[in-house]
Amino acid sequence: MTETAAAEPFVLDNSYARLPSEFHARAMPTAVAAARLIRVNRPLAEQLGLDAQALESPAGLDILAGNRVPKGAEPLAMAYAGHQFGNFSPVLGDGRAVLLGEIIDRNGARRDIQLKGAGRTPFSSRGDGRAALGPVIREYVVSEGMAGLGIPTTRALAMVATGESVLRMRAEPGGVLTRVAASHVRVGTFEYFYRQGNNEGVRALADYVIDRHYPHVADADNPYHALLEAVAARTADLIAQWLLVGFIHGVMNTDNVSIAGETIDYGPCAFMDNYNPATVYSSIDRGGRYAYNQQPGIGQWNLARFAECLLPLLDDDEDKAIAQAQAVLERYIERFEKTYHDGLAAKIGLQERREGDTELAYDLLKCMAEQGADFTLTFRHLADLGQASDSRDDAVRALFDDPAAFDGWAARWRQRLAEETRDDAARRAAMRAVNPAYIPRNHRIQQAIEAAEDGDYQPLEALLAVVARPFEDHPELADYARPPAPEEVVQRTFCGT
């Protein structure tokens, strides 16, 4: 590598900038006075084909802080609309994020490089366009935790402390997150054009998405119908995967739904400790619209808004277009249920599906909810149990308020396991491969944030180490698997702004 190339961490393209001007607004990141690098995600940098050492250099820090625009960048803020808690907002857009451009990773995939918290843009309205360090750390940890779990997600490439304060409920240290995504196109991006009656804008955006994310549908009889089907399938699988690890997004507005099928916009999100299907993590979600158990239905609702945008492209006859869209939305439910039910069966160690398996899994969930059992540890410890009751049962039983409540279910479960042809060791290994020992626990994230705000990054590093490999046991960090003690429970929920 030449000296000149080594000094330039990014060489970017920007296909989104080549779309018509109404798709975005030019926006330069706002420089900060005292940037300090907190962390570069070295494994991700390697996957992207980037030089982590160059990113950690002064030249790299300048880019990650927004103080210098890299070669090839055409910085912009994307335009989009969105339904927020069911109410339509015609203009939202990137109010605190700047898309620098795109790189081609080692697998040949185009990936967005975005600075979140990079200052005001034309869409900032009355906001300052900045991000507090706490939410930057939260998004880094949770998105990397999701990646460790194998769930499609945006990624965090770097965190920078700005050396400046932002005013929220109090003055907080500021930060900038470098986010990597398959793209940042959202359902709300389509709504932005559709609600203006700009069907050509919808068509241009759909063509862009097909070319970038779903090239296999380009040769379909109706590529736009095939696009709707593909997005619905990815969304169904994604939300099923969320439920299988106890994840709650928090604000599934249409502007927070990725067309690429990735988890995006980690604001008021968290993983459940004790299993309660009505759990909500957003302080502004007073009606529980985005509760854990509402996510599949909200996914369908959001897809219906996407389908509305595509109706003029599906068929010139509106009734026929609506019928096509409704059929896709029905298949979404079928796809979600299959993915979710197959996942539940795997979590309780069932490989050869039989009638009654789904009910058996649901009965365990019902018992967990009634008995206050920890979601993650119940399934993880279940993997250690044999086909006969012994002392290993104690770790699971202790998670239930009344340990005897687990025993009746366990007896039925063992009867079902006896019908499997797979041996016990293989079954336990398979269960451990789908039931993590570690998740980014809410209280651990909060502890890491508070320590980082005081200049101590050791808790953050330890937390990132375990969530990067959540299915492995880390004896030296075993305490990170523990649910919060009563005094450690994070009582404050998050609005994400």
Report angle CA 338, 339, 340 to the nearest 5 degrees: 95
DSSP code for 272:
-
Let me know if 255 is a catalytic residue.
yes
Residue 72, exposed/middle/buried by CB under 10 A (0-12, 13-18, 19+)? middle
At 481, list the tokens: 């698997």
Evaluate whether 459 touches 451 at the Cβ level (below 8 Å). yes
Beta strands in 105-217 (DSSP E): 110-116, 131-132, 155-167, 171-181
Helix (H) or strand (E) holding 84: strand 82-84
Cα end-to-end distance, the chain, whole Å: 42
What is the distance of C-alpha 315 from the center of its chain? 33
CA-to-CA dists, residue 491 to 69, 292, 442, angstroms: 40, 17, 10
Residue closest to 181 by CA, chosen among 268, 90, 114, 271: 114
Choice among 255, 265, 374, 393 that is catalytic: 255
CA-to-CA dists, residue 185 to 9, 220, 258, 430, angstroms: 25, 22, 6, 36
Residue 96, exposed/middle/buried by CB under 10 A (0-12, 13-18, 19+)? buried
Given the structure tokens 């609600």, which residue do they identify? 195
Q: Distance (Å, rounded) from C-alpha 209 to C-alpha 223?
A: 11
**In sequence order, what are the residues at sequence separation of 6 or more whose Cβ sits closer than 8 angstroms to the Cβ of residue 258?**
154, 181, 182, 183, 184, 185, 186, 264
Q: Greatest CA span in the chain, whole angstroms?
A: 68
Residue closest to 173 by CA, chosen among 130, 234, 121, 208: 130
Q: Which value, to the nearest 10 degrees, does the dihedral of the CA atoms of residues 30, 35, 41, 44 take?
A: 30
Give the type of residue at 278.
A
Q: Mind telling me the catalytic residues?
A: 255
